[in-house]
Chain A
């Protein structure tokens, strides 16, 4: 496979994952702003910070008005991470690697781009927002379904999965980090009303407000939520799950190519930081420091993959 093709696959799936994550952030922000928050401005601000777009946003807008934030995150072409921008980038990458994709995967991506370009042509009203966000989620599911159902399990598939999970792990780590203070154990272990709002935001941002109740039997407190999002391997957006999948796919590549690369070494050591840990030890290390280290490690692994598999000349 061409190095460029591997890079195209990896970025295509990073961008698709980013579109889905951004939609989920908007969804959580919108819901909290509507139902729970006394302070929607700081809610929207933290959404922008989480999506790593604060500079770009503040260059354009003075305040954190909800319709401005939503527009910026969904359709602003000046925001390279807006859903519209990343779907276009995903589709450009799909065209680039067209020969590596099945017709089903290509058509799903192309359709997604056509459908969302149409839905996002004009600003999205509050009335239409739930439907548009649902469309983004459904389209991601369609592409993912086509990938799982039709692609050979070879190196092509591994690069797709690496893109997905590098992006997802980075996103989950940022979501937790922006609100890490709400997850620190308070002396009473009983969340204030404020904490409860923050916890709900975090769980909704990773679509886990329901699965958390099932998995942890509803014991709603900071250490349980942190444990769930960071260390629980049953949770497909947790840091531990993502790190496990990244290591797994790099291991498949090493086996296929008969050559262990530096990226696998890095992934193993990241995996180690998340395996056999308990959340108390992480609190003692410092939750924020821990998360910063994880975000840094993911970026390192991403760059190392690009280098190891010759994405660029």
Chain B
């Protein structure tokens, strides 16, 4: 892999320290390294004690792990952020319009922009959603857009995560931890708040409640249970919003509504923020073996008596084959040029493209169309010859399951190491809330960082860490 000079360094520009980092850098220069090391250990103990952990599937001995936290913030100026936020809002509006169109008139297919076979053969496309509009017309109540930066003004969307994006609890806990560790920084440097997120999430979910719902809508968070890898986040969000955290067996259909079993009997609920995949949502409609969902919920949903967030069937908008059409999709519905760029994407389903991908495998990143979490992907430049050969075989066996992209030069930000600050590659996942009233994007997001020098894989399941993300006030 090339030298680190080929990557955009968010701390150091050609003319020295870049403006967003100047105040922080001055503060850092005065710090005692030993003290920072102690602070770093304290942060880890704090995460451990608070149970801010995630479960790793198939690893019983280390059942719960911490996502490493780095104490150097990633800093964006308000100008940089405003442009990003505008781009995300535009993209999220495009995705919602796209979903509504796909499940209703399918104009984008008639217009020849997205090929019909990509939809018809797509497992994430749910026929149950056809000719139905969710309450308030909202499909993706929460979107976590993965963004990478390659230059001063070059931001690319890597993934749209329109199903059940996770990680927002880390955004909030990272900020809390920084406030505890370095209160003096927050009095010196004015940073936009992220702490309103849970309140805004609840308000946004309530605004998308079924229209005939009387009084304040009853919102719940639906989790697969304590063994799910993101359980901590589910309980955290329910707690922060002040709503019940339920599992499928707490819910049932009562008089045409979904109700939860309380100590006083069944109570009707209006909005389910579900962290359960589509396939497990309703054993009567989808996977019949699912113990995680609510039998009959899809009938109640189609009758307009419950809001499910995100709506079932949104996955069709964020799979990696549809991704390559996103610029056209955004332009088709918003009538505007996309603000954020898309990464060039090779669709392996096409025989000529497959040939090209196979010939250039060592320079490309190959991903499964429905994959996530960094599983099942190949990073060509980092792979051995055997790995490349094995992967080539997988590609030939099932080409339409894969897309390929050029290896992106992800920007670096500094992390704190024993030898001082050192650059590492990062991405960014801001969180957008969509309600009938509009789109609300919390200023910041989750910055994931590849802790290994030179590595481009930031996923927590693959040894990545996180850091606080600051958006400065003007």
Judged by a CB distance under 8 angstroms, whether B254 is at the interface is no
With contacts A3-B250, A106-B51 taken as known, whether A95 is within 8 angstroms of B262 at the C-beta atoms is no
In the complex, A4 Cα to B222 Cα: how many Å?
A: 13
Looking at the complex, which one of B252, B260, B263 makes contact with A6 (CB distance below 8 Å)?
B263
Kindly list chain A residues whose C-beta atoms are within 8 Å of the C-beta of B249: 4, 313
Contact A99 B262 (CB under 8 A): no
For residues 208 through 247 of chain B, which have their beta carbon under 8 Å from a beta carbon of chain A?
A: 226, 231, 235, 238-239, 244-247
Q: How far is the CB of B325 from chain A (nearest CB, A)?
A: 41
Looking at the complex, which one of B226, B235, B239, B263 makes contact with A310 (CB distance below 8 Å)?
B263
Judged by a CB distance under 8 angstroms, whether A2 is at the interface is yes
Judged by a CB distance under 8 angstroms, whether B121 is at the interface is no
With contacts A4-B247, A155-B263, A310-B261 taken as known, whether A98 is within 8 angstroms of B49 at the C-beta atoms is no
Cβ proximity bits A104-133 to B, threshold 8 Å, 1 near / 0 not: 001100110010000000000000000000
Looking at the complex, which one of A1, A111, A114 makes contact with B263 (CB distance below 8 Å)?
A1
With contacts A1-B262, A310-B262 taken as known, whether A96 is within 8 angstroms of B49 at the C-beta atoms is no
Q: How far is the CB of B471 from chain A (nearest CB, A)?
A: 27
Judged by a CB distance under 8 angstroms, whether B48 is at the interface is yes
Q: How far is the CB of A301 from chain B (nearest CB, A)?
A: 16
Judged by a CB distance under 8 angstroms, whether B386 is at the interface is no
Contact A4 B50 (CB under 8 A): no
Judged by a CB distance under 8 angstroms, whether A214 is at the interface is no
Judged by a CB distance under 8 angstroms, whether A309 is at the interface is yes
Judged by a CB distance under 8 angstroms, whether A297 is at the interface is no
Contact A3 B51 (CB under 8 A): no
Kindly list chain A residues whose C-beta atoms are within 8 Å of the C-beta of B235: 95, 98-99
Judged by DSSP, the binding face of A is helix
In the complex, A88 Cα to B330 Cα: how many Å?
A: 50
In the complex, A238 Cα to B250 Cα: how many Å?
A: 36
Judged by a CB distance under 8 angstroms, whether B264 is at the interface is yes
Judged by a CB distance under 8 angstroms, whether B373 is at the interface is no
In the complex, A152 Cα to B265 Cα: how many Å?
A: 22
Q: How far is the CB of B177 from chain A (nearest CB, A)?
A: 14
Contact B245 A99 (CB under 8 A): yes
Closest residue to A98 on the B side, CB-wise? B235
Kindly list chain B residues whose C-beta atoms are within 8 Å of the C-beta of A71: none
Q: How far is the CB of B276 from chain A (nearest CB, A)?
A: 16
Judged by a CB distance under 8 angstroms, whether A248 is at the interface is no
Contact A114 B48 (CB under 8 A): yes
Contact B50 A3 (CB under 8 A): no
Closest residue to A257 on the B side, CB-wise? B264
Contact B263 A99 (CB under 8 A): no
With contacts A99-B238, A99-B244 taken as known, whether A3 is within 8 angstroms of B49 at the C-beta atoms is no
In the complex, A257 Cα to B51 Cα: how many Å?
A: 33
Kindly list chain A residues whose C-beta atoms are within 8 Å of the C-beta of B231: 95
Q: How far is the CB of A107 from chain B (nearest CB, A)?
A: 6
Cβ proximity bits A87-99 to B, threshold 8 Å, 1 near / 0 not: 0000010011011
Closest residue to A310 on the B side, CB-wise? B261
Q: How far is the CB of B426 from chain A (nearest CB, A)?
A: 30
In the complex, A95 Cα to B226 Cα: how many Å?
A: 7
For residues 12 through 68 of chain A, which have their beta carbon under 8 Å from a beta carbon of chain B?
A: none
In the complex, A92 Cα to B249 Cα: how many Å?
A: 17
In the complex, A309 Cα to B264 Cα: how many Å?
A: 7
With contacts A2-B250, A96-B226, A98-B239 taken as known, whether A309 is within 8 angstroms of B263 at the C-beta atoms is yes
Kindly list chain A residues whose C-beta atoms are within 8 Å of the C-beta of B244: 2, 5, 99
Enumerate chain A interface residues (CB-CB to B < 8 A). Answer: 1-6, 92, 95-96, 98-99, 103, 106-107, 110-111, 114, 155, 257, 259, 309-310, 313
- 4 additional A-B pairs beyond A95-B231, A99-B239, beta carbons within 8 Å, are A3-B262, A92-B226, A95-B235, A110-B50
Q: List 27 A-B contacts (CB under 8 A).
A: A1-B262, A2-B246, A2-B263, A4-B246, A4-B250, A4-B261, A6-B263, A92-B226, A95-B51, A95-B231, A95-B235, A98-B51, A98-B235, A98-B239, A99-B238, A99-B244, A106-B50, A106-B51, A107-B49, A111-B49, A114-B48, A114-B49, A259-B264, A309-B263, A310-B265, A313-B252, A313-B261
Q: Which 7 pairs between the two chains have the least Cβ-Cβ distance? A: A98-B235, A309-B263, A99-B239, A3-B261, A95-B226, A313-B249, A6-B263
